[in-house]
Amino acid sequence: MLVLGIDTSCDDTSAAVVRDGREILSNVVASQISLHHQYGGVVPELASRKHIEWILPVVCEAIEEAGIDPARLEGVAVTSGPGLIGALLVGLNFARAFAYGLSLPWVGVDHLEGHVAAIFLERDFPAFPFVALLVSGGHTILYYVTGPARFELMGQTRDDAAGEAFDKVSKMLGLGYPGGRVIDSLSRKGDPARISFPRAYMTKHGFDFSFSGVKTAVARYLQRHATVFEREIPDIAAGFQESVIDVLVRKTVKAVEEKKTDRLVVAGGVAANSSLRKRMAAEAGRLGVALYIPRPELCTDNAAMIAAAGHHHLANGETGAIDMDAYSKSTLTKTNDVTNKSTTKISSR
């Protein structure tokens, strides 16, 4: 099955063609980082307008790069949420019209399901079940994944997501947007032990996370030290990053031990962080657990992961309802099993 994937959930316009949910034929991403950098974060209205401008050429490029005729496509998968509503609607409505014009089945895919599905685009991927840490700009969640589109929610952030905290601290330090990439790079020059920031392990709340405290601690440190020399910034960045990663690793290890699994997946934009990858690899080795992390370009938002997740739904005979709408909050943060209520069963084509 050849599936066209489309993602416009935030500030990247992406389209991809994936065969059988496993083989990437193309994966085109048009980034808006340079547009939003001057504002220190994504401006939703600007993001939506840029998606409108870019979506057709990006989809055309993805089909051309895949070397196929559009008539060979067998389905379309598009991110229906969570994300910026205006941005999502651009992709959702384009996908619906594109599929209608070619008489193709189409399906809306939850962005979080897509992040986890990214691991199945790698040569080495896990069998079910496994624990998955999904850590991104908008979400920090632990799942126990028992099958395709079957997620048991174990814990999630109660305030800021890890990636959101990275972006906010980066802005405080005058490092710009996106913060995760900048802090990861700068931390390599700093000493994480020189400035220690608090860890919110939240022992009374099981597998839930909290990162607002460490973000506030950085802000207070900067307030107390009216003059922060440029040479100190790498140490502040390293100390902050160490605090966040420490919590992520310890909670994830606890989840793996609770489920008695020997397979762990780490996905989402923050999974591209070099320090997080190293720490997780070290802990996985200590526990004798097989660790699976997508390559960095599949950790950040992309349409290939949406096509991979959509493949399962399309192969299961699902298609998007005519009245499907975009949504800002994922059902994967509310229920134990993923059920796409915006899809209906169709007979095989």
pTM: 0.92
pLDDT of residue 345: 44
Helix pair 162-172, 233-259: axis angle to 10 deg:
170
For the chain, what percentages of helix, strand and coil (3-state, to nearest 5) are there?
45, 20, 30
Tens-place pLDDT, residues 166-179: 999 999 999 888 88
pLDDT above 70 coverage of the chain, percent? 94
Taking only Cα atoms into account, the Rg of the chain, rounded to an integer number of angstroms, comes to 20
Q: How many Cα atoms occupy the beta-carbon half-sphere of 181 within 13 Å?
A: 10
Q: What does residue 203 show for φ and ψ, rounded to 5 degrees?
A: -60, -25
The pLDDT mean for the chain works out to 92
User: Hey, what are 243's tokens?
Assistant: 């605090």
Asked if the model's pLDDT at residue 337 lies above 60, the reply is no
The span from the CA of 258 to the CA of 175, in Å, is: 38
The span from the CA of 82 to the CA of 158, in Å, is: 17
pLDDT of residue 339: 45
Phi-psi region of 236 (alpha: psi -120 to 50; beta: other; left: phi over 0): alpha
pLDDT of residue 228: 67
- β-strands 130-135, 140-147 pairing: antiparallel
**Contact present, 336 and 153 (Cβ < 8 Å):** yes
Q: Output the CA–CA distances (angstroms, integers) from residue 247 to 244, 251, 253, 257, 275, in the order listed.
A: 5, 6, 10, 16, 13
pLDDT of residue 203: 65
In the chain, which residue ranges form alpha helices assigned H by DSSP?
A: 33-36, 44-66, 85-101, 111-117, 162-172, 179-187, 212-224, 233-259, 274-287, 296-299, 303-315
Across 273-282, 291-300, 327-336, least confident range: 327-336
Q: What does residue 251 show for φ and ψ, rounded to 5 degrees?
A: -65, -40
Number of continuous H segments (helices) and E segments (strands) in the chain? 11, 12
User: Hey, what domains does the chain have and what are their CATH numbers?
Assistant: 2-117+299-345 (3.30.420.40), 127-293 (3.30.420.40)
Tens-place pLDDT, residues 146-168: 999 999 999 999 999 999 999 99
